[in-house]
Structure 1
């Protein structure tokens, strides 16, 4: 049985809305969301998945994800491109729902309702 979690999904294209979606956390699903090979960046209590070849493809910059990552307390040396998927840390290395504090922060930053 596949595990499902509520993910915060931030597309790079500003014309596509930021959304919360129940996803299965399989590698295939993550690859489909980020449109290719999956890389990860870890914050405190959360992590993101993104396309690890975004600089070579190239994918569009994701300014909204960069702002949220920075406002959540993680300062990156590199840019973030393509769709970004936020999830939380679960027990024993499992995935968990995107943390509520990140959803509230995204709502304020992007002036949109996300919480269900």
Structure 2
């Protein structure tokens, strides 16, 4: 049985608010990202992006790139389409988004909306 974890959704369009939503497994991620996905894991978080973001000509996600830059990851234009950010435990499993990332997103872009 799968457990839902709280994720931060960063839409690529600047007019769309960031959202905090429950995510439960790979199918949930595929729905949110609009297809197959790839991930980057660092420290206590996972970043998920559409695997065809660049080849599918998805819109650049400047907010996700900025937030990840603040976390030490330079996406150099690779953040395209929606981004889903979850937490990561010591075994590499998804968990709730870390509070420090939620706080930083709020400082940069305003309070995310709850689902």
Give the TM-score taking structure 2 as reference length: 0.90
1:68-107 matches, cutoff 5 A: 68-107=67-106
**Distance of aligned partners of 1:14 and 1:2 in 2 relative to their CA distance in 1, 3 Å threshold:** same
1:114 shift after superposition: 5.8
Give the TM-score taking structure 1 as reference length: 0.89
Q: CA RMSD in A?
A: 1.6
Structure 2 unmatched ranges of 5 or more: none
Q: Deviations over 1:7-58 (max 9, x none)?
A: 011011112110111121x211111111011100122211111101111111
Structure 1 unmatched ranges of 5 or more: none
Confirm or deny: 8 A CA contact 1:107 1:114 kept in the other structure: no
C-alpha distance in 1 between matches for 2:59 and 2:6: 24
Aligned residues: 114
**Distance of aligned partners of 1:77 and 1:63 in 2 relative to their CA distance in 1, 3 Å threshold:** closer
1:2 shift after superposition: 1.8
Larger RCO (alpha carbons 8 Å, 6+ apart): 2
